[in-house]
Structure 1
């Protein structure tokens, strides 16, 4: 499992030290990917705060492919806050849609996720925006297919 050092759900002091050591030796162009994937493993293991910290690092990484990984990191951040801090989740979803309109590297469901947050607030303005977001999604579907 040495090849999957960045997929381990462990986040003890020893595990953190090992991860950071391996990350420092990794090619700069791969570091953002390793950070994002390690964040997923940590989030799945219940280490959400640590996962968020790694995803934030993806957003500031300057490696060659970091921009590609930042779309996924923004989605992960939004998803991680959706229940406990919907305003923060909204921020990350809006940032993702603005910075990565193609939604490559994501589930491409940010319009729906944002609409869900807005619907929960039940304010007329928010409901109107949610309808517009869902309309955008329905127009992006290939004719003859269903959502």
Structure 2
């Protein structure tokens, strides 16, 4: 599913902090809920009302590229790989390895005016509002 140019309407986190639902509305008016299960780490940066999605990346088993490493390092340490101290680099590298083995997934959503959502989780479902 392509959500580029859709609007990110909101983020709902359950009481345990382990389940997150992102509500998204496409330009045709169809509303979806992107549900992330088994959240391990979640970051929201500069989220604004009615964010227009510019890009969305979803990494699963075997989807290695430099953007996965960049996202994992930022999610786990708050800095780029080159600026990361060795102890924290070990943690970020372990997350990349877990994604490649299929034990974990990651998603990054970026919006037009700089907003960003990054998450690591065990599974994801997509459901349309009925």
Higher relative contact order (CA 8 A, sep 6+): 2
- Judging by fraction of residues, say which structure has more strand: 2
- The TM-score normalised by the length of structure 1 is 0.27
- The TM-score normalised by the length of structure 2 is 0.30
